[in-house]
A = this chain, B = another copy of it.
Amino acid sequence: MNAPADFSHLLARAREPFPASTKSWINGSCADLRVPVRDIRLTNGELVSVYDTSGPYTDPAAEIDVRRGLADVRGGWIAARGDTESYDGRQRQALDDGQRGEDAARLAVLREQASALQRTPRRAKAGANVTQMHYAKRGIVTPEMEYVALRENGKREWMAQYMQDAAREQRLAGNPLGASIPRIITPEFVRDEVARGRAIIPSNINHPEVEPMAIGRNFKVKINANIGNSAVTSSIEEEVEKLVWAIRWGADNVMDLSTGKNIHTTRDWIIRNSPVPIGTVPIYQALEKVGGIAEDLTWEIFRDTLIEQAEQGVDYFTIHAGVRLAFIHLTANRRTGIVSRGGSIMAKWCMAHHRESFLYEHFEDICDIMKAYDVSFSLGDGLRPGCASDANDEAQFAELHTLGELTKTAWKHDVQTMIEGPGHVPMHLIQANMTEQLKTCHEAPFYTLGPLTIDIAPGYDHIASAIGAAMIGWMGTSMLCYVTPKEHLGLPDREDVKQGIMAYKIAAHAADVAKGHPGARARDDALSQARFEFRWQDQFNLGLDPETAQEYHDETLPKDAAKVAHFCSMCGPKFCSMKITQEVREYAAARGMAESDGLAAGMQAKAEEFNRAGGEFYVPIHPVS
């Protein structure tokens, strides 16, 4: 990333609270269970409380030293279950960092920086299964589940007035399209969703710093941001700053897609400092270990890599076990063939050995590892379409059916599982993706990349894909992997990451509103009310990006006075439709509007009043007509 030099300075800035915002907590049933939210104080005294992904970083009271890592959130809960043990763990090797000795001195420095981040790994005791799904199936409501319930509800008090409208009018209630979201999320509901596999709580026992969150169709739609892929890392601060920047703007999950050297050590830094679940694609590191020769990959090397990353605390693994030997030829007539990196690695391996994928053949062995640490599956779509004209083809759906079969196997082992989806899909083919996934994968959470609805927008693919993401999110997708403006062109820098996250927060929220997620609309209503009442500052502060909103407003009306001005910056103080609406409202309140006589009389009165008052004039919000 083209990030500036002083990362500790950037990190300090990324820790500043949002305007008019304070972090507060919703207390759970025990002292060590408190769920963070961001409270936005409005100028009219109202308080709007929103979902907060930014972790302790936006808590001025939190003392954070990225070289020591974040405070432990879940450690007590994990220990209390008594089904895990700490152990020495696997011996770290230079090869874990892609080293064959050539850079030993540099590696030593990096490891020294990270030495305080090392933790003794835990694993399930012999014969135990420590997945949230395993507990859920046995009727146990874990603190993680309670945490998720409180987090999904948020502070309902302030929403009450807005939620009443939705209850009153069907048009405001949304259309869930088959989702079944209760008005109040209870811990028991979370348990049931996890037990039936319709939601996951990515939470490796070796990532106790994580603030639990759920990915599932009956919860808020989540978004994932990718980091990594950078050149040789300069410092802990740089890696952590990328992470903090992404979660500040609302990333619910982060995938570390780093390749090349020092990836093991980099991962230590990211996980120890991350309050959100971290996902990886282990085949990338396994490939590094065999010098980049796919044919040389073996089950043993891959297995060793899974354990290495599970011990570090990775919360979910993308595993491309659906790329089977028999499917590869189905991509032969595609316009852009295989575009998934993991998918093409496995395709090459299968072709080179003319053997079935070792990921497919060893899938149950993988499950045994997952359940010993509670790592979740993100079953990768290695055969996803790389362009609109390859969407919904035979190769894509053949793999999807296999992912459904593997889901059943994972669930047999009580391993939490979600399914990755495309990619590139024109609008008219999106519904079929969702319908097929729900049917063949038994409602396991769907996690899609976009999809991009057209291919002619390089430089603007965050927009081309936000359209598809919003639609598929409404239809039932649980998490949306963001796309940045640099997609297909280059590596995203900080600004690209922010632009990608903004586009996806919009898509995810549009989906929540359309699905009728209880209270999702409340923030929109609060902002619209502020707009109507000319509370400019509230309008900025309730938005996804208060700084940019205020900056744009200031370009036209720089003075502070304008922040309380009773007119709209588009057209000046001369005319305002809002004023008229106020007058209509006063009248309507005074009279029953039902019968037209009342109306006529009222209008007559209004007319006289107007003519007395004379015409002070304002302007409206929309520049058009």
B332 touches A593 (CB 8 A): yes
Chain B residue at minimal CB-CB distance from A568: B488
B527 touches A456 (CB 8 A): yes
A454 touches B621 (CB 8 A): no
Q: Which of A148-156, A401-409, A528-536 binds B? A: A528-536
A591-625 vs B, Cβ < 8 Å mask (1 yes, 0 no): 00100100110111011001100010101111111
Nearest CB in chain B: distance from A466 CB, A: 6
Chain B residue at minimal CB-CB distance from A353: B607
B610 touches A338 (CB 8 A): no
Q: How far is A133 from B525 in the complex, measured between Cα atoms in Å? A: 43
Q: Is A62 an interface residue (CB 8 A)?
A: no
Contact among B175, B325, B343, B386 for A428, CB-based, below 8 A: B175
- Given known A513-B454, A543-B456, A606-B351, contact A524–B388 (CB-CB < 8 A): yes
User: How many copies of this chain?
Assistant: 2
Q: How far is A574 from B474 in the complex, measured between Cα atoms in Å? A: 38
A544 touches B456 (CB 8 A): yes
Q: Which of A99-107, A207-215, A577-585 binds B? A: A577-585
Q: How far is A531 from B576 in the complex, measured between Cα atoms in Å? A: 50
B459 touches A528 (CB 8 A): no
- Given known A426-B513, A490-B569, contact A388–B281 (CB-CB < 8 A): no
B532 touches A380 (CB 8 A): no
Query: Which residues of chain B come closer than 8 Å to A361, judged between CB atoms?
Result: none
Contact among B340, B454, B493, B524 for A389, CB-based, below 8 A: B524
Q: Which of A183-191, A240-248, A292-300 binds B? A: A292-300
Nearest CB in chain B: distance from A356 CB, A: 11
A172 touches B581 (CB 8 A): no
Q: Is A553 an interface residue (CB 8 A)?
A: yes
- Given known A351-B603, A599-B329, contact A2–B580 (CB-CB < 8 A): no
Chain B residue at minimal CB-CB distance from A574: B292
Q: Is A435 an interface residue (CB 8 A)?
A: no
B577 touches A510 (CB 8 A): no
A463 touches B607 (CB 8 A): no
A529 touches B351 (CB 8 A): no
- Given known A326-B596, A556-B490, contact A427–B514 (CB-CB < 8 A): yes
Query: Which residues of chain B come closer than 8 Å to A343, judged between CB atoms?
Result: 577
Query: Which residues of chain B come closer than 8 Å to A604, judged between CB atoms?
Result: 354
Chain B residue at minimal CB-CB distance from A593: B329
Chain B residue at minimal CB-CB distance from A611: B352
Q: Which of A82-90, A193-201, A499-507 binds B? A: A499-507
Query: Which residues of chain B come closer than 8 Å to A387, judged between CB atoms?
Result: 524-525, 528, 531-532
Contact among B331, B338, B464, B527 for A510, CB-based, below 8 A: B464
A453 touches B470 (CB 8 A): yes
Scan residues 551-569 of chain A and give those whose CB is less than 8 A from a CB of chain B: 551-553, 555-557, 568-569
Chain B residue at minimal CB-CB distance from A488: B621
Q: Is A523 an interface residue (CB 8 A)?
A: yes
Q: How far is A326 from B621 in the complex, measured between Cα atoms in Å? A: 24
Chain B residue at minimal CB-CB distance from A382: B625
Query: Which residues of chain B come closer than 8 Å to A337, judged between CB atoms?
Result: 532, 577-578, 580-582, 584-585
- Given known A295-B610, A464-B510, A584-B329, contact A524–B455 (CB-CB < 8 A): yes
Q: How far is A380 from B162 in the complex, measured between Cα atoms in Å? A: 30
Q: How far is A427 from B493 in the complex, measured between Cα atoms in Å? A: 31
Q: How far is A458 from B382 in the complex, measured between Cα atoms in Å? A: 37
Chain B residue at minimal CB-CB distance from A279: B625
A458 touches B580 (CB 8 A): no
B351 touches A584 (CB 8 A): yes
Q: How far is A555 from B494 in the complex, measured between Cα atoms in Å? A: 13
Contact among B338, B342, B580 for A625, CB-based, below 8 A: B342
Q: How far is A229 from B568 in the complex, measured between Cα atoms in Å? A: 13
Give me 20 A-to-B residue pairs in the complex whose CB atoms sit less than 8 angstroms apart, sorted by A's number: A171-B429, A175-B428, A259-B571, A295-B610, A333-B585, A337-B578, A338-B577, A352-B611, A386-B531, A386-B621, A387-B525, A389-B528, A455-B524, A456-B543, A458-B543, A459-B552, A463-B506, A467-B510, A489-B553, A490-B555
